[in-house]
């Protein structure tokens, strides 16, 4: 059996192991996922009599359309929670396939080290639910690998075609995909495969022109999109946050497993660093990403957790742009360690998602009491007694993972929820008047202890609380409908 066949069989087995948790629950505990799914559900059912009162499709040039387009097509033929999990699984696997494509182009083969990237299929960015970003990251690695192959073959004309198509496609998936593609091909060209002495100044100028032409479609699309109109506002810089976020590529809902994975994965390249081969431009790209990571604020132009995204890019590039030279015995032990890590991480995630079904069951018992077409304001409590015992609710020292679960109001009850992702500058969906007055598509779920003083009762029919504390003191105009273990629901008196 050929080495390539061995690789793909091993990759298939490890990917299937990683996908097992998707079978145990219909709504995985991934932060943004329910909100993305709700938007795609509305886009796939634009004529629904209840939902069309609140929301309307608004397709335009935007850098976040990848899974909206795929999802609308998929949800027209599959049940919402089946199609949704397929989309979520695609977002998890896309970066891994991109790593494979880049490594194959860079080294002419697929070896054990790129295969190890399956270990980080579950990572902090995935648990945060940045689906379009993950898709764009995988496509950027694949496109940069194709660019490298064509440049080596001297097919510069095809490079321009590939670059133009890739930059346009990446823009529609996520703007960070364009930036990663530009970084990878730029670093490749700065560190050419040819002998340095053979590179003349006119060759550098020609290369620069090629890169500009390749990126031109994305640049044009950017200025045609509402993103270009946003002020370049930045916010937040926290050194402690940055230290912990370096572990984002290895992060799960278990802090111990996160640290153990990082230790095991980092130990091998450190031990074999002298024997490692690097793809063209990899060292430079890693240095640039590291510098950007240190300097990057938490938010830029409405985009959130910018540095966390850069951390994942660095982690993936360590697998895509490096080839470790291992002995036959070393390969066997390394594969055994990779398989063990993939299995343990899948098991821990699966167990957390299995326990997540209790929260979903309680939530759905509450949702069943909400009539279709109702206006529901959801709030979040802080249940310090139970949260640490429910791993699916928290990504340790980063964010709570359950604050977008009220999006199931839209999917399963066709109700209005003010925090659904329907910002026309970022998503192809708008909130219709008069509901746009009470919509807050980019806002966080309000905290329960601040809700009563800031709420306008006449704007909503119901108030739902998730992750409810044991002791509650609702305002007098709240009529109890259901008090569950995880959720509570009140009807507002008129």
Answer for the pair 182, 153: CB distance below 8 angstroms, yes or no: no
Output the pTM of the full model. 0.94
How confident is residue 453, by pLDDT bands cut at 50, 70 and 90? low
How confident is residue 1, by pLDDT bands cut at 50, 70 and 90? low
Q: In this model, does residue 454 exceed pLDDT 70?
A: no
| Rounded Cα–Cα distance for residues 228 and 301 (Å) | 9
Residue 436's contacts (CB-CB under 8 Å, 6 or more residues apart) are 430
Strands 487-492 and 478-483 come out as antiparallel
| Rounded Cα–Cα distance for residues 27 and 41 (Å) | 14
Q: In this model, does residue 291 exceed pLDDT 50?
A: yes
How confident is residue 194, by pLDDT bands cut at 50, 70 and 90? very low
pLDDT on residue 139: 97
Q: In this model, does residue 488 exceed pLDDT 70?
A: yes
How confident is residue 241, by pLDDT bands cut at 50, 70 and 90? confident
Q: Does residue 199 or residue 308 have the better pLDDT?
A: 308
Answer for the pair 68, 427: CB distance below 8 angstroms, yes or no: yes
Residue 377's contacts (CB-CB under 8 Å, 6 or more residues apart) are 418, 446, 451, 455, 459, 460, 462, 463, 464
Average of per-residue pLDDT across 257-262: 93
pLDDT on residue 195: 46
Q: Report the candidate in 99, 84, 2 with the shortest Cα–Cα distance to residue 41.
A: 84
| Rounded Cα–Cα distance for residues 359 and 167 (Å) | 41
Kindly provide the residue ranges of all beta strands, DSSP E only, lying in 246-334, ordered along the sequence: 277-278, 299-300, 322-323
Segment 81-128, tens digit of pLDDT? 999 999 999 999 999 999 999 999 999 988 889 999 999 999 999 999
Helix (H, G, I), strand (E, B) or coil at 248: helix
What is the signed CA dihedral for 19, 23, 27, 31, rounded to 10 degrees? -20
Average of per-residue pLDDT across 376-402: 79
pLDDT on residue 169: 96
Domain borders along the chain are: 3-30+61-348, 368-492
Burial class (CB in 10 A: 0-12, 13-18, 19+), 336: exposed
pLDDT on residue 394: 87
pLDDT on residue 193: 45
Q: Report the candidate in 16, 1, 49, 54 with the shortest Cα–Cα distance to residue 429.
A: 54
pLDDT on residue 235: 66
**What is the chain's mean pLDDT, rounded?**
89
């Amino acid at each position: 059996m050929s080495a390539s066949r061995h690789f793909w069989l091993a990759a298939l087995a490890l990917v299937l192991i990683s996908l097992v948790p998707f079978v145990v629950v219909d709504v995985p505990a991934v932060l943004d996922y329910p909100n993305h799914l709700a938007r795609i559900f509305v886009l796939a059912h634009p004529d629904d009599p209840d939902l069309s009162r609140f929301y309307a499709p608004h397709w335009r040039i935007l850098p976040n359309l990848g899974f909206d387009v795929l999802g609308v097509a998929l949800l027209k033929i599959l049940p919402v929670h089946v199609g949704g999990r397929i989309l979520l699984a695609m977002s998890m696997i896309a970066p891994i396939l991109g790593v494979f494509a880049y490594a194959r182009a860079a080294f002419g083969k697929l070896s054990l080290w790129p295969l190890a990237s399956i270990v980080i299929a579950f990572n902090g960015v995935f648990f945060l639910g940045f689906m379009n970003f993950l898709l764009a990251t995988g496509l950027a690695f694949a496109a940069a690998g194709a660019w490298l192959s064509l440049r080596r073959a001297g097919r510069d004309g095809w490079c321009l075609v590939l670059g133009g198509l890739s930059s346009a496609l990446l823009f529609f998936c996520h703007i960070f995909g364009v930036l990663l593609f530009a970084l990878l091909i730029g670093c490749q060209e700065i560190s050419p495969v040819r002998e340095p002495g053979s590179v003349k100044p006119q060759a550098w100028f020609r290369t620069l022109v090629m890169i500009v032409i390749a990126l031109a479609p994305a640049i044009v699309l950017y200025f045609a999109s509402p993103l270009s109109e946003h002020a370049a506002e930045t916010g937040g810089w926290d050194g402690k946050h940055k230290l912990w976020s370096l572990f984002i590529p290895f992060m799960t809902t278990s802090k111990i497993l996160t640290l153990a994975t990082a230790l095991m994965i980092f130990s091998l390249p450190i031990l074999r660093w002298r024997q490692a081969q690097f793809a063209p431009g990899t060292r430079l790209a890693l240095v640039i990403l590291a510098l950007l990571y240190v300097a990057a604020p938490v938010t830029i132009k409405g985009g959130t957790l910018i540095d966390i995204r850069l951390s994942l890019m660095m982690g993936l590039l360590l697998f895509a742009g490096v080839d470790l030279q291992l002995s036959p015995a070393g390969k066997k032990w390394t594969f055994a360690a990779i398989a063990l890590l993939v299995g343990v991480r899948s098991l821990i995630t699966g167990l957390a998602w299995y326990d997540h079904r209790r929260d979903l069951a309680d939530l759905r018992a509450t949702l069943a009491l909400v009539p279709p077409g109702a206006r529901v304001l959801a709030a979040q409590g802080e249940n310090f007694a139970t949260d640490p015992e429910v791993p699916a609710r928290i990504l340790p020292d980063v964010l709570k993972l359950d604050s977008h679960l009220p999006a199931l109001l839209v999917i399963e009850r066709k109700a209005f929820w003010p925090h659904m992702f329907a910002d026309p500058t970022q998503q192809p969906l708008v909130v219709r008047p008069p509901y746009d007055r009470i919509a807050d598509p980019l806002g966080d779920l309000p905290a329960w202890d601040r809700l009563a003083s800031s709420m306008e009762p006449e704007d909503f029919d119901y108030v739902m609380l998730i992750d409810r504390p044991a002791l509650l003191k609702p305002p007098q105009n709240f009529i109890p409908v259901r008090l569950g273990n995880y959720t509570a629901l009140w009807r507002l008196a008129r």
